[in-house]
Amino acid sequence: MNQRVALITGGAKGIGRGIALDLAARHWKIAFCYRTSETEAQKTARAITERGGQALAVRCDVSDPAAAKALVSQVEKEWGRIDALINGAGPYHRINLFDETVEGWNKMFDGNLHPIFYLAQAVAPGMKARKAGRIISFSMANADQMISQTDVTAHYIAKAGVLILTRTLAKLLAPHGITVNAVSPGFIDSGSAPPEELAGMTKRIPAGYIGTVDDTVAAVRYLLSDEARYVNGANIQISGAWGI
C-alpha cells in the first residue's frame, strides 16, 4: 500500500479532497490537479502530508487533451506509476436549455466527459504493463434514467456519457487486470451548494437526509480495494434512493 499512487482530478476541495485525505491515511502518494483553487490546493496538500501521505498538487485544465496527457506524464515521472485514476473534476451550471450558450454547452462536455477519455488513454499503457489499475469516474444519481432535464441539459447528457464510457473502458481494460467503475452521487453536502438549498431537497430524498462526503468516499474506498477486484463496469449510486 505504501507505494500506491493515485491521480485525482478536482482534488483540491469537496469530494475529491475527501478521497485524497482518506487515501493519505492509508499512506498513498496522491497527485491532484486543480484549475483555480490555489489556496484550497495548498491546504489539501498540507493535510495529505499531515495524514501520512505524499502530495503533488498541479494546476492543470484537464479539458485540454495536451495538458491532460502532460499531467499523467508528470505524475509517472515523479512517482513511476499511477495505480488509480479518479476523475473528480466537473463543472456544473443550471440554465434553461434555450438560454444556454454554445460556450456553456461545450463547457459541460469539455469539463465532465472529455477529460475521462483523455486521461484513460494516457494512464492505460502503464496500468496494462503492470496488469493492474483502477479508474473511477463520477456521474450523477439519475443519469442512467435518460429523463428530460430542461435546466441542466448538457451536464446531464455528459454525465450519462460518463456511464457509457465507463462500461466501454471496463470491457476494454478488464483483460489487463484493470477495473473501471462509476460513482453517482445524489445530494451530497460537499460544500458546493448552499446549506439552505440542500435542506430544501431533503423532502425529495427517500432516506430523508442529505449525504456526506464520507458516504461517497466509502464507495471509492471499496472500489479501490482488493475486495472489489471483480467489480467492473458498475455504477454505484450514493443518493439515499433519490434518482432511481
Outline where 25-152 has alpha helix (H). 38-50, 65-79, 102-112, 114-130
CA distance 216 to 18: 9
Which of 2-34 are b and which e, b meaning 16 or more Cβ less than 10 Å from the residue's Cβ?
A: eebbbbbbbbbbbbbbbbbbbbbeeebbbbbbb
- Catalytic position from the list 34, 118, 156, 230: 156
Q: Which residues, 6+ apart, have CB-to-CB distance to 44 below 8 Å?
A: 11, 12, 13, 17, 20, 21, 32, 55, 57
Active site residue 156: yes
Query: What single DSSP character describes residue 202?
Result: G
Amino acid present at 30: I
Query: What single DSSP character describes residue 225?
Result: S
Helices and strands, number each (H, E), in the chain: 8, 9
Q: Which residues, 6+ apart, have CB-to-CB distance to 123 below 8 Å?
A: 7, 72, 82, 85, 133, 135
CA distance 109 to 49: 33
Active site members: 156
